[in-house]
Amino acid sequence: MTNPLFDALFAPLAGQDRPLLILPDGESVSAGAFHGMIASYAHALGAAGVTAGKRVVVQAAKSPQMLAVYGAAVAAGAVFLPLNTAYTAEELEYFVEDCGATLLLVDPDRIAALAPLAQKLGVRLESLGEGGSFDASAKDMPDSFETVARGEDDLTALLYTSGTTGRSKGAMLTQRNLLSNAQALVDLWRFGPDDVLLHALPIFHTHGLFVASNVVFLSGARMIFLPRFDIEQVTAFLPQATTMMGVPTFYTRLLDDPRLDRGLVGHMRLFVSGSAPLLSETHVAWSERTGHAILERYGMTETNMLTSNPYEGARRPGTVGMPLPGVELRIADPETGAELPQGETGMIEVRGPNVFKGYWQMPEKTAAEFRADGFFMTGDLGLIDDQGYVNIVGRAKDLIISGGYNVYPKEVELVLDDMPGVLESAVIGLPHPDFGEAVVAVLVDNGKGIDLAQIESTLRDRLARYKQPKRYIILPELPRNTMGKVQKAALRQQYADQFKEEVQ
């Protein structure tokens, strides 16, 4: 038995002098040096008690070292669990305890603060990064490592969902899940050894780690490895890149910069957006300004990538394209699971080698999320249009039922986003004494002023009465998570009492 993921992603790096990671200071890490770093870290994992199947939790700043720990975990047959650096010690405790971690790696300046937590949970605590204890241990280790044999169905990573509606769940991702998805994306997006990816995403998330990084490793490409999205760094490095993957915020910030023009990006071949919906107006503005059509795709923590707009062909604003090769996707009745006709809205359900193994230590939750025929219920509502493109209407939990009628927030948001003065909108349902839920629109002013009377007048002609917002809230910005997704659960909680005293 071999180690399929390591053999495909990391083994080919051995002995190569070509630059792999281009760093902000102009220095680079060669493919061969990175391969040696992975080996040294794999030995260090063993010295820390991490054997096949054991969990390694990493909550540290984005760095080549953190990326090498991912490779080392794959080599050692361990389970890699990256965490958002914004999590507090209390939040961190839940993840470490829930997964039963053997090793916790953190930034050097957090060791003292987290020592009591480590002692309480009985987990080994080491620091990762410049001057870190784990790095010191790895420094004296050999730069070659005998890879631990693993199978396609062996657990490789745990990624926890956001937990906005309850306890966070650990999605179990196997070698097959990760490798099959990387192979599909490399082929679909035409990645090869001549590509240079501008990488400004975090690597505690599937987008930056399992999409961007895995695609680079598998294709033999290089990446400009930036610690975060910084407009000055991104603008400076764009001339050296051929591709960029980002969240919608990357593109809106670049559009706000007068330096963005066709000359700056004329050599680029591909811009990809994901992790949050890309507004149609952003897609159009980018195309007009740069001559490039952003390729929007759709994925989840539990499934990796599911769909993509085509590399060749129309990249349609407001859609996420078509299912990836090997991925089965259907629109089903949320209650019965019966497949719905094309054009009707229902639950997006998927099946394929990319779909996760289940939720960590939650067999009942896992069983509840899968149909008997193996299709995973994504929790997203969508439809397939007359050209075969998948359109996401919203999350099932965001569906508003007002007076017995279903209201899909996306439909209302598309109308609101076209209104003068509106930069963007979020439509939510709030408790109402008469209707059960009332449609409420949260708007962000684009600086030109919002005329609510005009909006109400326009919506009377464009939307059925039950879809029209019963209240408008204007905010300077919408609450978002680190990947740019609007946090509607936070809005519902904050404004839950809007209609408490109202009687219709």
pLDDT band at 404 (very low <50, low <70, confident <90, very high): low
**Residue (of 282, 213, 205) closest to 482 by Cα position:** 205
195 touches 243 (CB < 8 A): yes
Mode of pairing for the β-strands spanning 270-273 and 243-246 = parallel
Secondary structure (DSSP) of 335-379: TT-PBPPTT--EEEEEESTTS--EETT-HHHHHHHB-TTS-EEEE
Rg (CA), the chain: 23
Rounded distance between C-alpha atoms, residue 309 and residue 204, angstroms: 25
Query: Is residue 164 over pLDDT 70?
Result: no
- The pLDDT value recorded for residue 304 is 95
Q: What is the mean pLDDT of residues 48-63?
A: 97
Q: Which residue has the higher pLDDT, 503 or 48?
A: 48
Report the topology of domain 399-494: GMP Synthetase; Chain A, domain 3 (3.30.300)
- The pLDDT value recorded for residue 50 is 98
- The pLDDT value recorded for residue 504 is 36
Q: Which two tokens stand for residue 74?
A: 């794959």
Rounded distance between C-alpha atoms, residue 168 and residue 160, angstroms: 6
- The pLDDT value recorded for residue 503 is 40
Q: Which two tokens stand for residue 261?
A: 């023009």
Q: Which CATH architecture has domain 4-151?
A: 3-Layer(aba) Sandwich (3.40)
Rounded distance between C-alpha atoms, residue 321 and residue 387, angstroms: 10
Q: What is the pLDDT of residues 139-148, one digit of tens each?
A: 999 999 999 9
pLDDT band at 1 (very low <50, low <70, confident <90, very high): low
Amino acid letter for position 407 = V
Q: What is the pLDDT of residues 248-293, one digit of tens each?
A: 889 989 999 999 999 999 999 999 999 878 888 889 999 999 999 9
**Residue (of 472, 185, 229, 475) closest to 323 by Cα position:** 185
Q: Which two tokens stand for residue 86?
A: 């914004």
For 60-98, strand residue ranges (E) read 79-82
Cβ-Cβ contacts under 8 Å for 153 (sequence gap 6 or more): 174, 175, 176, 357
Q: Which two tokens stand for residue 385?
A: 């249009």
Q: Which two tokens stand for residue 195?
A: 């590509």
Secondary structure (DSSP) of 155-168: EEEEEE---TTSS-
Cβ-Cβ contacts under 8 Å for 3 (sequence gap 6 or more): 74, 75, 77, 147, 148, 149, 150, 175
> Cα separations (Å) of 317 from 402, 478, 491?
29, 22, 26
Q: What is the mean pLDDT of residues 103-117?
A: 96
Q: What is the pLDDT of residues 315-372, one digit of tens each?
A: 999 899 999 999 999 999 988 999 999 999 999 999 999 999 999 999 999 999 999 9
Q: Half-sphere exposure of residue 329, counting CA atoms within 13 Å on the CB side?
A: 31
427 touches 400 (CB < 8 A): yes
Q: Which of 82-91, 189-198, 465-474, 490-499 has the highest mean pLDDT?
A: 189-198
Mean pLDDT (the chain) is: 93
**Domains of the chain, residue spans:** 4-151, 399-494
